[in-house]
Structure 1
Amino acid sequence: MLAKYKPGVIICLRKLSIYLGLVLLTFPGFAQEFLFKRNRQKQSIPFKCIKNLMVIPVYVNGRGPYDFVLDTGVGPMIITDPSIIDSLNFGKLRKIKVSGMGIESVDAYVSQSLDVKVGSASIKYIPTAILKEDLFNLSGHLGLKIYGLLGFSFFNSFIVDIRYSENRLIIYDRGARIKYRGKKIPIEIENQKPYILAEIDAPNGKTVEARFLMDTGASHALSLEMLNAAEFPLPEKKIKANLGISLSGQIKGYVGRVARFNIGSYVFKDVVAGFPDFKNIAGKIDLSKRNGNLGADLLRKFNIQLNYQNGFIYVKPNGFRKTPFEHDMVGMVLYLDQKTYKRVLIGEIEENSPAERAGLQPNDEIIGVNFKGINAYSLNDLTEIFKSKVDRTIILEIFRDNQVYFKVVKLEKRV
């Protein structure tokens, strides 16, 4: 049983948006790793930070670069767009079932014949799960063509220094001398994923020591899933919300706030947290090993050095440390169409949200924001605008049924 109660305090909780650390796959006995050429010891690699996720260039079988999400929440590499592999014959690949939060299992295919290169480091025969089609629609939700997720094989091969404040990471050969910075915190690597302990004030008035999957591939701050073999207590103030995407669509649940979250003696207050529907997820993922998921909206407040081999990280607060946690103040999901990746469409709309009250509807196309054409904004820009300031007025130009409408939305702090 996880998370024993300690004497403590109380209160409310938090948000999510894109949830990639879901896939439960294992490859028996794989020990392949990335290696530098010619005794190189380190390399700096820039990344794009989109909705808190790190996107890096990756070469597959000598071709690319292709944009991949760098994700501690997955084990083997996952290819979400198989078009990057010309010679792929699914009939000769082993079929497996992929399962995860909010999904029924779907088919994927196993390969250990791909060569991958990141910067000057490369790996042969990387264990890979290949989806026959992009069921995640990562590209549509991130606003950038995404081809897959890179996880354990990368992080286990190096000491990885993630500098969120600079949008770059530095990878070091494991034998290199490293100057560590900040606070040392132990982690456990289990089933190729890192877990970390933290203290959290639960809504029932207790301070809980809980175990979290440390997940750079989840754009939220916290997901609270289980406590003492039951659902995590819900805060008094909460809203129904779409918590993220999975292989089969939206993950449902609630969003609220946590009064206090303590990791490595660094304390965060009023953290937005998501509470996935417990009945839905309990049969899909093994909750016996964790209480929740620690995502990139909180992790990016540190620069982090990860050492998988020796089981620890170092964290040092950066310029994002004091940025308050905010949830989306509009209440709708945006994505790009999967054909051109240019049209911005509205997906689900949350109940009693500013979006619903403004008369917005699923499948509306947004063609302008505040009298500027939609091409002036990325999806990341719109995400930031929609959680920017309470009572801010946003004017959306909408195309629906061959007509143009203007809708006025007033941002509202709902949690």
Structure 2
Amino acid sequence: MPRHQKFQKVKFELINNLIIIPIEINGSDLTFVLDSGVSKPILFNLSGQDSISINNVSEVTIRGLGDGEPMKALSSMGNTFSLGDVKNFSQDLYVVLDKNINFSPSVGIPIHGILGYDLFRDFVVEINYASKYIKLHNPELYEYKESKKSQTLPLSIIKRKAYVEGTVLIKDSANIPVKLLVDTGSSDALWLFHQPEKGLEIPEKNYEDYLGRGLSGDIFGKRTKVNGVKIGDFELKNAKAAFPYREFFGLMENLGDRNGSVGGEILKRFNFVFDYANGLVTLKKNGKFREPFQYNLAGIELQHNGLRYIAESIAGIDGVVRGENSSSFGNVQILLENKTRLSLVPEIIVSGIRAGSPAAEAGLREGDVILAVNGKSIHRYKLQEILKLLNEKEGKRVRVLIERYNRDLLFSFVLKSVFDD
């Protein structure tokens, strides 16, 4: 950071509970997820449109969560990273060349990599989830402020990762102490390891679910909820939780006394100040604190699948053109006789479907192209907005128009609680 500058403020996008920040690497503008669960920056998903030079390259093997094998990657040293006025002129990074490592389709915008520890190490990092900005504070000039509404807790930094202690309440047992990885790179709420000897039993009401994707592949486990989770004096009741199958952690080193992780769906309910150097974290609940936890009631996973053309009439029933429709979506447009507009829009497909879910029982299939939800053409919505339309509330009837083998089909189903007997 420039000398005597107190802080650098950077706006971010919050998509699917993930913090999306702009990073410049060796002069190339890229988009990264701020992931406190990763030690070194990892670059992936470079398409033919992306151009970046990296320095001092050698081949290495890296591993992460998931059901796959360790993967070959490139290690690169001496790169220049810029975030606003903040720069690192000697940043190490990894480059994953596996095309299957691509988070962009599930997020809805291009994501080129993940960045974590090195940023948290060098600054006092303030994350304001409510106003969607990060402040990187100069540690030498940062001053703690007293506030009755916030609380400062110990933060353990072990092998470049941050852990916070809390308690969970399962069934009618006493509060169970847990040590949780702070994982801003997880869009989920709370992951717990199945450790019966410590009281961490899987609640009876649960269902098998896809939990996400790690660097080494997909992760599955039991989706459920716990009676409560408490960090410091802040308690969230009936909290969404998941118990990932332990085999997906098989490639990881000894997990030590870690009991799970806390991700974005809980973290976004607070504004944080992370002080890795002094082993402290300050948290203050924000306006998102009491928002209901989001469950996949429909049982559908969606992702982008390239682009498709759609046709829109820009003339009224009398044949008169009313002017440009400002709500039209798509950067590439073709006008036909000034009456019909072809627009190039993202294609959204069903990428996964949960067995026994309302969508599966109605007949939806993996690979179906989503055209409309409840009569609303989905090309006017972002990916996360479409998922919200599909999972609005329990008991709501949802109508989904899809395309399958060049035929349009309409399906209807009622959203139901995922924990019904």
Superposition TM-score tier, normalisation by shorter sequence:
0.7 to 0.9
SS in 2 for 1:141: helix
Aligned counterpart, 1:178: 143
Aligned counterpart, 2:333: none
Aligned counterpart, 2:102: 137
C-alpha contact 1:225 1:231 (8 A) present in aligned 2: no
- Partner of residue 376 from structure 1, selected from 364, 377, 380: 380
Aligned counterpart, 1:401: 405
CA distance in 2, matches of 1:293, 1:103: 21
SS in 1 for 2:346: coil
Q: Which string of whole-angstrom CA distances, capped at 9 and with x for unpartnered residues, describes residues 356-380 of structure 1?
A: 0111000111122222222111111
CA distance in 1, matches of 2:209, 2:18: 21
Cα drift, residue 230 of structure 1: 8.5
Number of equivalenced pairs:
378
Aligned counterpart, 1:311: 279
User: Quick one: structure 1 residues 293 and 103, their matched pair in 2 at CA, closer, same or farther if it must change by over 3 Å?
Assistant: farther
For residue 234 of structure 2, what is the amino acid of its counterpart?
Y
For residue 190 of structure 1, what is the amino acid of its counterpart?
I
Aligned counterpart, 1:49: 14
Cα drift, residue 81 of structure 1: 2.6
For residue 385 of structure 2, what is the amino acid of its counterpart?
D
For residue 78 of structure 1, what is the amino acid of its counterpart?
I
Aligned counterpart, 1:4: none
Percent of residue pairs bearing the same amino acid type? 27
Aligned counterpart, 1:162: 127
SS in 1 for 2:266: helix
1:197 matches 2:165: yes
Show the 5 A alignment for 1:16-165: 36-64=1-29, 66-82=30-46, 84-87=50-53, 92-165=57-130
CA distance in 2, matches of 1:76, 1:229: 34
Cα drift, residue 195 of structure 1: 0.4
For residue 49 of structure 1, what is the amino acid of its counterpart?
L
Moved more, 390-399 or 337-346: 337-346
For residue 306 of structure 1, what is the amino acid of its counterpart?
F
Gaps of 5+ in 2: 309-344
CA distance in 2, matches of 1:383, 1:249: 23
Cα drift, residue 136 of structure 1: 2.9
Q: Which string of whole-angstrom CA distances, capped at 9 and with x for unpartnered residues, describes residues 80-138 of structure 1?
A: 13454544599x52322323233321111111121110011000121211101343321
CA distance in 1, matches of 2:255, 2:28: 38
CA distance in 1, matches of 2:199, 2:91: 37
CA distance in 2, matches of 1:197, 1:100: 22
CA distance in 1, matches of 2:70, 2:197: 23
C-alpha contact 2:192 2:259 (8 A) present in aligned 1: yes
C-alpha contact 1:212 1:294 (8 A) present in aligned 2: yes
| TM-score between both structures, scaled by the size of structure 2 | 0.85
CA distance in 1, matches of 2:69, 2:217: 11
User: Quick one: structure 1 residues 148 and 247, their matched pair in 2 at CA, closer, same or farther if it must change by over 3 Å?
Assistant: same
Cα drift, residue 231 of structure 1: 9.9
Structure (1 or 2) with the larger CA radius of gyration: 2
CA distance in 1, matches of 2:306, 2:161: 30
SS in 2 for 1:310: coil
1:362 matches 2:366: yes
Aligned counterpart, 2:326: none
- Partner of residue 231 from structure 2, selected from 253, 257, 263: 263
User: Quick one: structure 1 residues 333 and 225, their matched pair in 2 at CA, closer, same or farther if it must change by over 3 Å?
Assistant: same
CA distance in 2, matches of 1:205, 1:275: 18
Cα drift, residue 328 of structure 1: 1.2
- Partner of residue 213 from structure 1, selected from 181, 186, 203: 181
User: Quick one: structure 1 residues 206 and 338, their matched pair in 2 at CA, closer, same or farther if it must change by over 3 Å?
Assistant: farther
C-alpha contact 2:45 2:102 (8 A) present in aligned 1: no
C-alpha contact 1:226 1:290 (8 A) present in aligned 2: no
Cα drift, residue 386 of structure 1: 3.3
User: Quick one: structure 1 residues 80 and 202, their matched pair in 2 at CA, closer, same or farther if it must change by over 3 Å?
Assistant: same
Cα drift, residue 208 of structure 1: 1.0
CA distance in 1, matches of 2:255, 2:240: 21
User: Quick one: structure 1 residues 347 and 187, their matched pair in 2 at CA, closer, same or farther if it must change by over 3 Å?
Assistant: same
| TM-score between both structures, scaled by the size of structure 1 | 0.86
Q: Which string of whole-angstrom CA distances, capped at 9 and with x for unpartnered residues, describes residues 66-86 of structure 1?
A: 211011110100101345454
- Partner of residue 243 from structure 2, selected from 257, 268, 275: 275
SS in 2 for 1:380: helix
- Partner of residue 342 from structure 1, selected from 332, 338, 346: 346
Show the 5 A alignment for 1:229-244: 232-244=200-212
C-alpha contact 2:358 2:413 (8 A) present in aligned 1: yes
User: Quick one: structure 1 residues 338 and 293, their matched pair in 2 at CA, closer, same or farther if it must change by over 3 Å?
Assistant: farther
Q: Which string of whole-angstrom CA distances, capped at 9 and with x for unpartnered residues, describes residues 321-355 of structure 1?
A: 11122311111211112578921111121111011
Cα drift, residue 265 of structure 1: 1.2
Cα drift, residue 284 of structure 1: 3.9
User: Quick one: structure 1 residues 353 and 285, their matched pair in 2 at CA, closer, same or farther if it must change by over 3 Å?
Assistant: farther
